[in-house]
Structure 1
């Protein structure tokens, strides 16, 4: 029994913490920043004002995380985010392929809690920042759950709060709203009718029950459903993120008026549900009930802080490669009308670039404060560019960038601006790639030093055996075919059939920009006569001028069928000139005005398990999976497969690296295949399998004849193994014991 006598006043306890880096905000960007910095040796405090991690991806909001893959709905092939963001997606797929948002919370909390050097403060809101000149020196937070104040001192700070709490309180320069077209020359800059800011959304989940469920709407529910111009799009089957367009608040202060916005969104949600349940237009909804409604809105846009580079529309559409490129994006420029659900405009205006674009490091730190990194939704970008860079997997990728950058700044005793100098930025770019991050059109220099690499075998692309099934060519289809500079395209054998004589056009298409998968040029074309079942050769007699993917494209001819194979190969893919309604309205990007964007066709893959591959022969065989790829520093398919794959009859595949002048190593990082084209959305959608089929899931790794690790049930593309003590490496050997079902693939062994 404790009895406390009356006093004049009481005070909540205060706890003092010191760190190398304070990360404010526990969304995906903040979590990735904190994990990266801690893994690179910093003492990190991660402060999150919510009870769970993940921000908009958490169970509190339940928006699926996505990024450059854009639901596999644009031309960005093999573009899924790597590094820690990729690790999170792969781990969630392994544990939670069904897409349960509560399980995704668990994945994130487990990562944070198990990371040495990372102190996690949940339910803690920062309310004060201490500065000295152009530096932040500390911040104060309060946790109402344990009634504790936290005074946190740090050498460096990362703002990943979405609203820029640290930067705002510290007085850093920021912007809200949209730039005028004249400032940056952005033709997508919105006018007043469309509005200058994106709003919030609240999602809800429904479920079927065994009997009728009555619904009585609250007094604040929207009464007139016709106030929503797009109300006729509503169906009883819409659920969760499908209702992203139930949005509002873009004309308000999206920080200080968030509660007002939330109540209006609740009004909309309950009005929509009342309409579905009680209008009589949806009799199938009689046995449905609402299972969950968001208690907080998913916020899209508020403050954007100023760095030394302001990312703009032209950076994205022209795919500008910056000297300090450290990350990338690939979501469309996705702008929403400020009036949201009440607007007469379409719910969004989306335009894609022809491929991925890079993001410079100069956009990831404040130009006002010398030790403040920016990541997530508040990076230095215009409103238009922000419309693409704001999506969560891009934010998570940029989080890792600033976490790794903070560690380098700490080690070298320099500021972020100094790290951005041309003579220094290479350290960060190389370190990011060495740890598994992908930067478009860049490579890792000498991933395994001056190693000689030998393999037990090598897969040669000579034939893809028919499996007895056929596909009607009812839409344009193409095989992405990798060729080397100076390599002659082989004679390609097709197996086709048609009941009556038909003509079929087969073309060779190419992208203008290296690394893109948007075919703009027809290099050659042949017309085939198909009658009955035939094996027909196609010979384009072409020598490639560069390493590139060519499109072996088949015209739409529904009366012609092509034989299919069961063989699946990494870095090879069949795509269709088709539509993904989640991210586009047509099979071709069409600009309905002068928006400064390109028009082009979409060529999209099908999701597993619906992918198909034509049965083909190649004479002579193509060397798509050579052992020397393991030394080229390209860590995924881009301008070629860049992978090594063993022969299909090799029952014990091995790779051996040897050195005449042995490097001293402490960290060995393997880069495996885990289908970098798979979007791996985190919640709601669900996925076919917990790991993609080319992933190596059992292996042994040997150093100088001694076994250093045996791994079972691997489900990650990046596997890092650290030695207790550095050791000279004379020979490293990898034994592949099993894959997840298809031929295994390896991209690199990176040594540090």
Structure 2
């Protein structure tokens, strides 16, 4: 028993922690930043003011993680973010395809605590900053409410990923709050004062069927008159969780300092809504439902945005402007909400999509006036309009990874963040990011240390795609469908499809490509054909006159006609996809985007895949095979489909697919990196939304690596991850490395995007 005499005052216990990088904020941006840096060998302190990691994705808020894929509701094919955030989402899919938010907490925490270079401080809030005479941050004081310890965190570099920009605010970093005018940055979509200049907070609830009647007595603070919510008729007994994203409030208030007031108003709304569902008599199906969970902290959208050396703006997104210092990308729609939120007469959101993904430059990720301060997450240097797209968690996490790798280079070179803008340093940063699994549009991995570049390559087989065989599966041509195929330069083969017509009719067929190589909006019409069909089965041959100037995807489009059914194929192949001109209202996709003339947004059609178990390819034959699936793809520097599949794909008939990497002289190999296909087109929403499988059907599950004597160097069974990094216990001396893979299934041939081999 400890008895301490009375004192006039006391101080909390203090601990000093020194590291290379302090990251304030444990949402996905801060988490991915910390993991990326730690894996490259620097010491990181990760500070999170909540009991769990993940921010808005955690069980405290329960919003699904999304980024450029946008629920598969846009034209951004194969655009799911790579690197650490991909690893987290793939892991969550494997462990948690049902979308349990509590399990997602464990997935994220597991990734962090597995890194020995990370010191994690949960329930710890940054409260004070000490600066050096040169305006750099010297240390951050933080307090943990659970153990009453005050921490002094010292480092040469800091990253603010706190959402509200706590560290940036305390350090005096320049920031903005509210919308820029239309004139300042030339953004035609800049909102009016009537619409509002800030997005609000949201708070969700979950319900549960108990199997017996449940009464509900509302608390005194519940909203009494549900008709005060203009969209009250949209409430129903089936939707819960982040499907109710539009329960939003606070855009007219200070979204930092009035958060508690905003939370109370959201509680009033949620409990008033539940009272309406349970007690209005309009929802008899809710009789057995109970209110299982209500959020205790709101999910925040917008507050401070900090100024860097470049401010991302609407034109960057819509025009897909290229930046030489690109380190990340976005692809969510420009998604602005009325400031009055759930109390607004206006629609809950106003989404306008770009034709493809866009660059986010490095200059947007550090402070223009606090020299050793990075930003990550929704607080980076963007305009209010661009923020509407860049704010989502997949994009935020992707930027966090860029900052983590930038911090590594800053430590290695002993420079401050802005110094990485120099051409050669920027190239080094981009190459490190790409090697770690982060795709940057338009950039390729050019790694001189990769021994595969010195080797000759061969394979037991290479896919020569001459047919996607039909099955008994027929689908009505409603909506319109297009088959995406990777075509090489020059003439196209003759395509053959079979159409089943219920009456004499005509089938409209188009050949389209994209106006920008590497994007997937089929906005260039090359040829049109009208094919007369008889009742019954029709064999249709399509001979196009077009000669392609370069390798690219072509879209063979079959316009909507409910009198026609087309045959589809169960065969799925890496880099081959069918897309549909269907509607996805959740992301404001109504088949075609038709914006007003004066807001600076493009009009175009949406062509999107169907989710598995649907999404089969069109059954089609080619007079000459498509041959862009060769083994040379494993060293072309791109590890996902872009303007081509970028993968070695084995022939389906190959019983033992293998590729060989051979050198004229023995090589010393310590590290091998393999990159597989986990379907970058699938969004992998982290919570609420279930998934039909827990392993992507294209992913190689089982493989063996052998040396030149046939000895097994490494063997893996049950793989499900995109990137496999193999660190051998002892360096391997060999003139040949053979990778033997198994086909994922009889309907999916084995594919490998990339192989990297290093001496260290």
Scaled by the length of structure 1, the TM-score of the pair is 0.98
Instruction: Check the 8 A contact 2:743/2:749 in 1, yes or no.
Output: no
Ranges in structure 1 where 5+ consecutive residues have no aligned partner:
none
Count of residue pairs the alignment pairs up? 751
**Counterpart for residue 264 of structure 2:** 263
| CA-CA distance at 1:750 after TM superposition | 2.5
| CA-CA distance at 1:606 after TM superposition | 0.4
**Counterpart for residue 526 of structure 1:** 529
**Counterpart for residue 745 of structure 1:** 751
Q: Partners in 1 of 2:142 and 2:294 — Cα distance?
A: 29
Instruction: Check the 8 A contact 1:699/1:738 in 2, yes or no.
Output: no
Higher mean C-alpha deviation, range 195-204 or range 544-553: 544-553
Instruction: Check the 8 A contact 1:629/1:644 in 2, yes or no.
Output: yes
Q: Partners in 1 of 2:732 and 2:416 — Cα distance?
A: 32
Counterparts of 1:718-729 in structure 2 under 5 Å? Answer: 718-724=723-729
**Counterpart for residue 22 of structure 1:** 22
Counterparts of 1:287-306 in structure 2 under 5 Å? Answer: 287-306=288-307
Instruction: Check the 8 A contact 1:32/1:400 in 2, yes or no.
Output: yes
Higher mean C-alpha deviation, range 400-409 or range 519-528: 519-528
**Counterpart for residue 542 of structure 2:** 538
Q: Partners in 2 of 1:416 and 1:722 — Cα distance?
A: 31
Pick one of 566, 569, 589 that aligns with 1:562.
Answer: 566
Query: What secondary structure is seen at the aligned counterpart in 2 of 1:638?
Result: coil
Q: Partners in 1 of 2:278 and 2:470 — Cα distance?
A: 51
State whether structure 2 residue 14 is matched by structure 1 residue 10: no
**Counterpart for residue 655 of structure 2:** 651
**Counterpart for residue 517 of structure 1:** 520
State whether structure 2 residue 694 is matched by structure 1 residue 693: no
Instruction: Check the 8 A contact 1:123/1:145 in 2, yes or no.
Output: yes
Ranges in structure 2 where 5+ consecutive residues have no aligned partner:
none
**Counterpart for residue 119 of structure 1:** 119
Higher mean C-alpha deviation, range 652-661 or range 82-91: 652-661
Higher mean C-alpha deviation, range 20-29 or range 579-588: 579-588
**Counterpart for residue 711 of structure 1:** 716
| CA-CA distance at 1:751 after TM superposition | 3.6
Q: Partners in 1 of 2:400 and 2:661 — Cα distance?
A: 33
Instruction: Check the 8 A contact 1:451/1:657 in 2, yes or no.
Output: yes
| CA-CA distance at 1:197 after TM superposition | 0.4
State whether structure 2 residue 685 is matched by structure 1 residue 681: yes
Pick one of 713, 718, 739 that aligns with 1:734.
Answer: 739
Counterparts of 1:190-205 in structure 2 under 5 Å? Answer: 190-205=191-206
| CA-CA distance at 1:212 after TM superposition | 1.7
State whether structure 2 residue 190 is matched by structure 1 residue 189: yes
Pick one of 464, 470, 492 that aligns with 2:468.
Answer: 464
State whether structure 2 residue 89 is matched by structure 1 residue 89: yes
Structure 1 residues 284 and 512, CA gap change in structure 2 (3 angstroms): same
Q: Partners in 1 of 2:745 and 2:626 — Cα distance?
A: 25
Instruction: Check the 8 A contact 2:355/2:520 in 1, yes or no.
Output: yes
Counterparts of 1:540-689 in structure 2 under 5 Å? Answer: 540-592=544-596, 594-660=598-664, 665-689=669-693
State whether structure 2 residue 174 is matched by structure 1 residue 173: yes
| CA-CA distance at 1:224 after TM superposition | 1.3
Structure 1 residues 19 and 99, CA gap change in structure 2 (3 angstroms): same
Query: What secondary structure is seen at the aligned counterpart in 2 of 1:169?
Result: helix
Higher mean C-alpha deviation, range 195-204 or range 640-649: 640-649
Higher mean C-alpha deviation, range 245-254 or range 449-458: 449-458
Instruction: Check the 8 A contact 1:69/1:76 in 2, yes or no.
Output: yes
Q: Partners in 2 of 1:8 and 1:701 — Cα distance?
A: 69
Instruction: Check the 8 A contact 1:512/1:519 in 2, yes or no.
Output: yes
Pick one of 489, 492, 496 that aligns with 1:493.
Answer: 496
Q: Partners in 1 of 2:164 and 2:480 — Cα distance?
A: 45
| CA-CA distance at 1:332 after TM superposition | 0.2
Higher mean C-alpha deviation, range 466-475 or range 188-197: 466-475
Higher mean C-alpha deviation, range 83-92 or range 127-136: 127-136
Query: What secondary structure is seen at the aligned counterpart in 1 of 2:681?
Result: coil
**Counterpart for residue 70 of structure 2:** 70
Q: Partners in 2 of 1:60 and 1:329 — Cα distance?
A: 25
| CA-CA distance at 1:192 after TM superposition | 0.6
Query: What secondary structure is seen at the aligned counterpart in 2 of 1:629?
Result: helix
Task: String of CA shifts for 1:416-465, please: whole Å, max 9, x gaps.
Answer: 11111223211111111111111112211256323221111011111122
Higher mean C-alpha deviation, range 103-112 or range 543-552: 543-552
Task: String of CA shifts for 1:34-68, please: whole Å, max 9, x gaps.
Answer: 00000000011101110000000000000001000
